[in-house]
Chain A
């Protein structure tokens, strides 16, 4: 799969929580993405912008998130499926799927 052209698309903000935040030392990562994008393209763009996440929250082969993680759109909607849609300024939250307390 070809890498995304980093100079095209809209800006979205990926917010990091928990271990991804600690491991990467970053609270958020900015990505340039098309408005319609596949899940794998998001993972690959995230890996390029924040390599510390590879093998941690992102699978080594960049095919998807690791099993213990999921995406949330703008703090309201948990994302499933392969096709994702964004608007400029959107936030994508990278979260653990373990909510027990």
Chain B
């Protein structure tokens, strides 16, 4: 077999056992790898109705056929689990050399089950797991833990994934850090890892998988690398994603003060241009990447030194969303989240919710331990983030994320808890980006800009971003399918405009790697199949039509400032777009999936008849 191992390693932490399960060629072809293969494996190995923080919830690390080919941006892996934030499918991507070790030692995926009796370091060398004591690592930050694990293993080529204090303490939006500070951030996989008493995972492997046509891959790789340095990636290479701040602000699409506004008077101070000129230490690259979108920034004031990666989502969430215009404090906040092991989007959005509660008097200085938790107070932001990561004081409430915190606090605060299905919104204002509004509402993992790139239509001549029309359902579905294929092969999203014909090229690459015939049409269908199976997972976990929605604020308040002043989005408009989306997908008006659709996508063999809840 080329490109795949055809098997996955299943490790049970409870009894320290392991086994290999085979994966049929048909499943590999149908779900490709990464997010797609992970969705198939999660559907198969996750018991319906499982508590996300119970031992039975599987935690998956999934590779892809591209891993190991050295094609640009190909060293990526997916992490999947049932999300403790949403109760639905949870998936994250990360990009590091952990991906290559994963493929060398765990087959096509690692599935972790059970719960260790004591804090554990799971070390897997050449396919053989060892269950090592990790008591000495407990309480360490993510970078400290990685260093300590590498020292313990005595092998600098061991690649490490670890959780910080937030994961240990089951902060619902805890991330999994890996290989020098990369993060699998969204949906709370770090909390699931923590619930298994698994502080760290260390991998070392030797089993390379050959591609079917190595010379053709090398030749294609040279051409793609050249294209990856062209105009299609210029923004990412030069300013990185932080360049979004000044543009989004001008267009009225920059969520500010917990989505009360979409422009920020301090945007220039925390713009990509300012960070580039005053804080850039160096550009950095993911493993096997030619683009190099990462910007390593450092503080420049007289305060405590901090440095680290900052990209747009961390910047928006810890800056404008919390009303913070001090770039040094944003760097500190992002670095703190990374060290504690927390998703920056959910962390920032949850603090922003709390700031609004404080300003409205629902939270008092007594509740916050004396912290003046107002918008714009950067010191308060840092203090509260640290409290969350350690579940201290007010941090214990906020560690639950905005949905649960609002449910607990009540008093109407649910109206400004800015999440979809429990996952906090990324930095794209839905009222002024109508296609993205739909993408956020229907995304299976909750409010997400990575599984749906619907915003691309809004930032183009394709649509009028401020109006709703009948095309949005089809556009959103097509964008989701595109992203599903991208995330399954796995390519970097920032490469997407460097392809001459994405599906054509990707089908050729897949064929060169696996030796299996693949057509562009078959790949497109795989995208549809993967998104449909995600939906089926959610339906099995209790999804109802009302889950596909947006926060009340978005549907009831108009934007007050900038070029979009007076622009809103009504529930009727959103429902109209959702109906068009279900129609484009071939689902029922209630968003359920007919058996005929399952048959069309070849999903009947993977979905037991009792779980086919749509009409026949």
Contacts and interface: CB of A to CB of B under 8 A. Distances in A.
Contacts of A66: 231
Contacts of A77: 464
Interface string A72-96: 1011111110000000000001011
Contact of A93 (B250, B313, B316, B460): B250
B559 to A, nearest CB: 13
Interface string B409-437: 00000000000000000111000000000
B236 A100 contact: yes
A68 B494 CA distance: 12
A75 B567 CA distance: 13
A2 interface: no
Interface in A42-85: 66-70, 72, 74-80
Interface in B513-569: 562-564
Contact of A18 (B233, B272, B312, B464): B272
B461 A99 contact: no
Interface residues of B, number: 45
A15 interface: yes
B276 interface: yes
Nearest to B432: A76
A96 B237 CA distance: 12
Interface in B217-244: 230-236, 238-239, 241, 243-244
B389 to A, nearest CB: 24
A29 interface: no
A99 B459 contact: yes
B240 to A, nearest CB: 10
Given A68-B231, A78-B461, A19 B311 contact: no
Contacts of A69: 231
Chain A: interface residue count, which band? 20 to 34
B69 interface: no
B273 A98 contact: no
Contacts of A75: 250-252, 562-563
Interface in B481-496: 493-494, 496
A17 B250 contact: yes
A22 interface: yes
Nearest to A56: B234
B246 A18 contact: yes
B273 A21 contact: yes
A17 B243 contact: yes
B231 A67 contact: yes
Interface in B63-115: none
A8 B273 CA distance: 34
B236 A70 contact: no
Contact of B493 (A15, A19, A93, A100): A100
B460 A97 contact: yes
A25 to B, nearest CB: 11
Contacts of B493: 100
A39 B312 CA distance: 31
Contacts of B427: 101
Residue among A22, A66, A96 with the highest chain B CB neighbour number at 10 A? A96
Nearest to A65: B231
Nearest to B276: A22
Contacts of A74: 563
Contacts of B282: none
Interface in A17-44: 17-19, 21-22
B609 interface: no
B208 interface: no
A96 B234 contact: yes
Nearest to B313: A101
A100 B494 contact: yes
B137 to A, nearest CB: 33
Interface in B433-475: 449, 453, 455-456, 458-461, 464, 466
B234 A99 contact: no
Contact of A70 (B313, B461, B494): B461
B563 A98 contact: no
11 contacts: A15-B250, A19-B234, A68-B232, A75-B252, A76-B251, A77-B464, A80-B461, A97-B460, A98-B235, A100-B493, A101-B449
Given A68-B234, A93-B250, A98-B232, 13 more contacts: A15-B250, A67-B232, A68-B497, A74-B563, A75-B251, A76-B251, A93-B247, A99-B244, A99-B458, A100-B241, A100-B496, A101-B241, A101-B313
